[in-house]
Structure 1
């Protein structure tokens, strides 16, 4: 069998809040023992991969900085490939700003090449008004992701990047280009970071509209966990489906089922 590797969503898949989901730590340890490459993907641009790594290590995961790929990192890599040493006006937080600086971008308050919208908890209308005028004057609108909201624990949500992007699109009549999941930009970058082909890539996620849509569109094997935002009864709403559906990541500790996923052979799991 050819090699295989995993792209793994985080919140709702390997942890909830500050607690790992049962079986998640053992699953990552199993991947290491089997020498199967993996990469955690997140649509949250607030923190750097170092910050995210520290959070996972505190929970007990055996991970390093290079095991995490954020939409902020993907956005910075994409922009650097489009225009070297460009300028950007950013509505976002430290993780996104750090990644842009890492690729040589300058953060400016007037006449930027790009207006970039990321996750933020303290977005002010003054910043939004400034962004609107910059976009109307020719700056390109870039979104780290289009998630309309973000879970904050205890069943509560806050407005996500996509909500603020929609406001700017409405005000300017311009459409944003989004880099994060389900965009093929981030999916392709992640696959290449693991040096995998399409047939060798397996995505584990809990969200149909980002993880499963993005990975499925790329031709990756898709595994939906029901431990996060998507419920089994939600599946009838979508015109596409994952290759495998499991209650939680713990199911992948079953050697027989794990082998079924590796070869994309459906039929073993009762949810399939």
Structure 2
């Protein structure tokens, strides 16, 4: 049966600038076996080309077609909602490039939308401008609502933490297109030409990767190499189909089944039930 993967990046392939052991081998196997896949990231800072270069430095050789960012999903959504619109942007190159590519002008006066993504230049002057624009009628958009992001040194504030300042000040809730939104995850699936049953979502975060996959009916694989620990699973009403320590372990399970099944070994299920149910 045809099958393919949507794969998170931070905490699955790498943490910060450090490759998670085994991630490169898994991707090489996907390429060698011509298995369709796409990396999904809620990081809006970098363009597709930037992400390809970063992965290349870590030994993962892929093309731009393998990358799908929340910035791309956001820009495509806005272009569909209001073609040729305008946006005030708090964010970096990946978000700005995606908006321009989809026909949007970036402005600092009376925008149609205020769009907020990750950024290390975030400041209160930008927040004040965004608050005033939202009060004047601009629609508030977040590229994602992740409260934090994993790094090799711990965590850093995510887009959700940044946009919450504008939400609190205005009383307006942001609309987000990033994971776990079906807008982003369904678009990536369709771009791969897969059906729901043919798709497996691999991620390290229950609230985004796994939740989105469960809601859309995808197979789901949780890796414990990122932000989620096994003992955390008892807090959730939903659970992944498979839990592994990392992509290295998942690759081993697939190799044992000769890559015939996306979710290996029924022997794992009793453990999943015990931990997550």
Common fold: TM-score over 0.5: yes
**Among candidates 204, 214, 228, match of residue 202 of structure 2:** 204
C-alpha separation between the residues in 2 aligned to 1:150 and 1:19? 15
Residues 203 and 256 of structure 1, relative CA distance in 2, 3 Å threshold: same
Contact preservation (8 Å) 1:260, 1:266:
no
Shift of residue 122, structure 1, vs aligned partner: 1.3
Q: 3-state SS of the aligned residue for 2:144?
A: coil
For the residues of structure 2 that align with 1:268 and 1:70, how far apart are their CA atoms?
35
State how 1:257-272 maps to structure 2 within 5 Å: 257=257, 259=259, 261-262=261-262, 264=263, 267-269=266-268, 271-272=271-272
Tell me the distance in 2 between the aligned counterparts of 1:151 and 1:107.
29
User: Are the equivalent residues in 2 in contact too, given 1:257–1:268 (CA < 8 A)?
Assistant: no
CA distance in 2, matches of 1:122, 1:161: 13
Superposition deviation, residue 123 in structure 1: 1.0
1:29 paired residue number: 28
CA distance in 1, matches of 2:258, 2:100: 40
Q: Is the 8 A contact 1:257 1:269 kept in 2?
A: no
2:232 equivalent to 1:256: no
* In 1: Cα distance, 2:61 partner to 2:128 partner: 43
Counterpart-to-counterpart distance in 2, 1:200 and 1:162: 31
Q: Distance in 2 between matches of 1:92 and 1:81?
A: 21
Contact kept in structure 1, 2:46 and 2:93, CA below 8 Å? yes
**TM-score scaled by length of structure 2:** 0.93
Structure 2: segments with no counterpart, 5+ residues: 273-277
- For 2:258 and 2:181, the matched residues in 1 are separated by 27
Partner of 1:107: 106
Aligned length: 269
**Residue pair 2:16, 2:150 contacting (<8 A) in 1 also:** no
Q: Hey, what's the Cα distance between the residues in 2 that align with 1:246 and 1:218?
A: 21
Q: Secondary structure at the match of 2:52?
A: helix
User: Equivalents in 1 of 2:29, 2:66: separation in Å?
Assistant: 15
Matches within 5 A, 1:1-272: 1=1, 3-155=2-154, 157-254=155-252, 255-257=255-257, 259=259, 261-262=261-262, 264=263, 267-269=266-268, 271-272=271-272
Deviation string for 1:106-155 (max 9, x for gaps)? 00011100000000111111111111111111110000000111233222
Q: What stretches of structure 1 of length at least 5 have no aligned partner?
A: none
Provide the C-alpha distance between the structure 2 equivalents of 1:253 and 1:185, rounded to a whole number of angstroms: 29
- Paired residues of 2:18 and 2:152 also in contact (CA < 8 A): no
Residue by residue, what CA displacement relative to the aligned partner does 1:13-33 show, whole Å, maximum 9, x if unpaired? 112232322221111111112
